[in-house]
Amino acid sequence: MPRLRNALVLTLVALAGAASASEQAALEPYVVTATRQPVDPLLVPTAVDVISARELHRAQPAIHLSESLYRIPGVVARDRWNYAQDLQISIRGFGARSAFGVRGVQLFTDGIPATMPDGQGQVSHFMLESASRIEVLRGPFSALYGNASGGVIEVFTMDAPAVPSLRAGYVAGDDGLGRAALSFHTPWQDGSFLFDVTDVDFDGFRDHSAAARRNAQALLKGDLGEHTRYTLLGNWLDLDALDPQGITREQWHDDPRQASANALLFDTRKTVEQQQLGARIEHELSAAQALEFTAYSGDRRTRQVLGVPVFVQQQNALHGGGAIDLDRDYYGMDARWRWTTQWLAHAFSLIAGMEYEVADERRRGFENFRGEVTGVFGALRRDEDNRVRNHDIYVQAGIELAPRWHAHVGARYSRVRFTSDDHFIDAVNPDDSGTREFSRTSPVAGLLFRLSDATSLYANAGAGFETPTFAELAYRDDGASGLNTALAPAVSRNVELGLRARRAGMKHSFAVFESRTEDELVVAANEGGRSVYANAGRTRRRGVEYSAAVPLGETLHFALAATWLDAKYLEGFGPGERHIPGLARRSAWAEIEWTPARDLAFALEGRYVDRIYVNDANTEAAPSHARFDLSAERLFEFGGLEWRAFARINNLLDREHVDSVIVNEGSGRYYEPAPGRHWLAGLSATRRFD
């Protein structure tokens, strides 16, 4: 810890000195994710950052969150170059074990959850085309959002322009990438109506990785009388993707474009159809009190063919098969009361709420062969109805103790119940029906001191609670059928100390943290696209995060995000400490942007990622790598239309590297390679109907 302590002292001195040069803080958008109400980030005693609309859209195709989340220290969003498995997102090391989807991180769009009651989340339906900002909350206060230990990511949709507008655009790139987008945004009474459609087609960087993804989203928001606001959000996703799977280190060096042999043999692939509708009502009872109610409902249908070998299924009569048909219906509600007042002559706020969520799924497993034919849905091997429900209550309070002192406390009680009703029963396969329930109270507390009008120092602590998901309960380590009911939830204890400063367009943030977890959920085996999970012993994550945004004159701007993360198993994997796989010890991103004119911008970005261990034994690792990206964007008017054109060259120096890994892959196929030098170019036009 000496190096960690020294880094903290030096940074505090430097930032405090810089901030003392000016007592006037620059304007910055308010954030709502940390406190559930609009508040200046300098008054929030936790790490919370905002990615602006300009940072989201400048010279970017708006396809994945991975295009922008690297701007936030402590956050990893790895593009797997595999649409069948979605992004690999983790915050402060939580979520890195996920073989598919997002774990350990809560996801929202305009207050509507994108995370299921069991903690499994998806980002493939996020509509970045109309996003106005992304808020990222890290650290202990994320526990107030429920079944997540690492953090919260929320996407907010923009308001409609003052007049109706129609926008159309197209992005093209290497390996047959094409993205078409169409948007219609218009004022609606006292609010906004936005409709967006995108269509992405990709031949794939690797063999057997072609994909087609189509998204649509409609948002309507406005006023219902003088004191009530509403938001209606509907989105739709249709995904059809081939899965190249991971490859070994030798295969990667030989040909990074190749797919695994099993991917070709079984034609591994995935199709997803999802529809979701959400509504939020905000009603002011008085100047001091308000009620908010959120409700949502959706359906997600997934059909997937895995690469499980035929002999594995034939040798075990209890095996669940190598093809999945999963239909999940889900719904939920959140009701909260907000009160702001003066208490003993001090500003005081209180939020209390309750949440109820349900997900019902029909899970069926089939053999991925029929006779000598592979890659098809064969004989039924699994058939069950599953339900997960969570009942949560939470409370969060903030008080101004003195002109420079602010305190925030909160707690959330969570009860998550899993139920499985087995329909596949015969003389060999017994009834695997069962129930598993977890409950926990997670308290948090934070204290903030205003060093000046432009600088804040804060500290916080809290507990986190993370249950296994149904996907993690789906397979047992003994090869038998039924849910893995031996899994226990992971419980973490977290502390954080940070400093935030801003002045005259300059921003700095610094945080040092430590998390200790009991019963860490880890991948015990991962083979053929099927993951089996277990509980490890104690783990520890500690780290340092730093970010800065600094103007270097009227036309130059510099930005930086750097993370040092020491994530280790303290027990459970033999003598001594071992690194938690899937995580880089050091990572950094930096950008220099040059804007010689208001309508013209150039940027050079650099990224560095340290080596990433691929298994619990730490016997193999993806090597460290650095890459540079160059981009240009031009805005202009022509023919009565507003045009936006951009071009990018990613991995400018054509470095061979691995972007993501499959932790503990049983056949040593850990690696998911990234492309070398590749290009993107886009053009869009907007017509405003004045």
In a 13 Å sphere around the CA of 118, the CA atoms on its Cβ side amount to: 23
Q: How confident is the model at residue 676 (pLDDT cuts 50, 70, 90)?
A: very high
* Per-residue confidence (pLDDT) for residue 100, from 0 to 100: 67
Q: What is the largest CA-CA distance in the chain?
A: 79
Position 319 scores a pLDDT of 85
Is residue 280 predicted with pLDDT exceeding 90? yes
Q: Are the CB atoms for 138 and 50 separated by under 8 Å?
A: no
Judged against a pLDDT cut of 90, whether residue 371 lies above it is answered with yes
Which of left, alpha, beta for 225 (phi over 0: left; psi -120 to 50: alpha)? left
Alpha-carbon distance 168 to 127, whole Å? Answer: 15
Quote the CA–CA distance of 591 and 12 in Å, as a whole number.
23
Model confidence pLDDT, tens digit, residues 78-104: 888 999 988 889 999 988 777 667 888
- Picking from 54-63, 279-288, 361-370, 571-580, which range would have the lowest pLDDT averaged per residue? 571-580
pLDDT tens profile 236-275: 999 999 999 999 999 999 999 999 999 999 999 999 999 9
Pick the CATH number of 2-688 from 3.40.50.300, 1.10.10.10, 2.40.170.20, 3.40.50.970: 2.40.170.20
**CA–CA distance, 686 with 639 (Å, rounded to integer):** 11
Average pLDDT in the 597-606 region? 96
DSSP, residue by residue, 54-83: HHHHTT-----GGGTGGGSTTEEEE--S-T
How far does Cα 255 stand from its chain's mean position? 30
Per-residue pLDDT at 22: 34
CA dist 571 and 582 (Å) reads 18
The pLDDT of residue 473: 82
630: β partners: 604, 649
| Averaged pLDDT of the chain | 90
pLDDT-derived band at 4 (thresholds 50, 70, 90) equals very low
Residue 39 has pLDDT above 50, yes or no: yes
Tokens standing for residue 70: 């690297």
Q: At 316, is the pLDDT very low, low, confident or very high (cuts 50, 70, 90)? A: confident
Query: What does the CA dihedral 511, 4, 606, 600 come to, rounded to 10 degrees?
Result: 30
Query: pLDDT tens for residues 106-156?
Result: 999 999 999 888 888 888 888 998 999 999 999 999 999 987 768 999 999
Q: Is the pLDDT of residue 645 over 90?
A: yes
Angstrom distance (rounded) from CA 116 to CA 122 = 9
Can you tell me the mean pLDDT for 389-405? 94
CB 622 within 8 A of CB 661: yes
Which pairs with CB-CB distance under 8 Å and at least 24 residues apart come from 195-202? Answer: 195/219, 196/127, 196/129, 196/130, 198/62, 198/127, 198/129, 200/63, 201/176, 201/177, 202/83, 202/175, 202/176, 202/177, 202/178
pLDDT of residue 13: 36
Q: Is the pLDDT of residue 643 over 70?
A: yes
**Which pLDDT band holds residue 16 (cuts at 50, 70, 90)?**
very low
List the one residue out of 591, 477, 464, 587 whose CA is nearest residue 523. Answer: 477
Q: Which pLDDT band holds residue 178 (cuts at 50, 70, 90)?
A: very high
Domain ranges of the chain: 2-688
Indicate the range of 433-442, 592-601, 619-628 predicted with least confidence: 433-442
Q: How many CB atoms lie within 10 A of CB 223?
A: 13
Can you give the pLDDT at residue 104? Answer: 82
Place of tokens 């800065």: 548
Note the pLDDT of residue 116: 86
The pLDDT > 70 percentage for the chain reads 93
